[in-house]
Amino acid sequence: MTTHENWTFSAGWLDAARRVNSPNYNPRPDGSYPELIVVHGISLPPRCYGGAEIEAFFCNTLNANDHPYFAEISDLRVSAHFLIRRGGELVQFVDTDSRAWHAGISQWRDRDNCNDFSIGIELEGCDDEPYSDPQYAVLNKLIFALQNRYPKIGRDAIVGHCEIAPGRKSDPGPAFDWSRITDLSASRHGNAE
């Protein structure tokens, strides 16, 4: 078993993450709790890293005039629970007990509305550029912490956005190496030897 430092939560906020409150969340429906982790990829503008645009997007302060792509998305109201930057910085936008708006129209195991019962983790990146070593290290620690807090999140409950919204979403894309996720069955993602 892999050992990880002991990350703790307080009212759904992870102590190891920098907190940036997004207004884009709401309570989970009665009887719903995290059972699924959804891995995403995001870069704003596309293929550009390190700026403040992702945080602005999740906080509804993205300036539509700063880039042509922003004009297309600035009116969207979305969020994720977490963002892992290229250098490994962990940012949290929504407490894990609440419903972040990351999955959109989605289905997992014949259940619709994955936002109701999932945790959304964005990785700064794009589908066809390798994600960084620090991102995988932080992602593994985060998954471990989430599984400790929410025991219903099992090995088979870690998916890409593309798996819950096929044909609509492609992230985290083919550049994401599922075999680097500790304790995850690589054969589930076609990476078996």
Catalytic residue annotation = 122
Q: What is the 3-state secondary structure (H, E, C) of 108-128?
A: ECCEECHHHHEEEEEEECCCC
Distance of CA 16 to the CA centre of its chain: 16
For 174: left if phi > 0, alpha if psi spans -120 to 50, otherwise beta; the answer is alpha
Q: What is the residue-wise DSSP string for 50-116?
A: SSSHHHHHHTT---TTS-HHHHHHTT-----SEEE-TT--EEE-S-TTEEES-S-S-EETTEE-GGG
Count of residues making up the chain:
193
Q: How would you list the strands of the sheet with 158-160, edge to edge?
A: 18-19, 90-92, 82-84, 118-124, 36-42, 158-160
Largest CA distance in the chain: 49
**Are the C-beta atoms of 74 and 1 separated by less than 8 Å?**
no
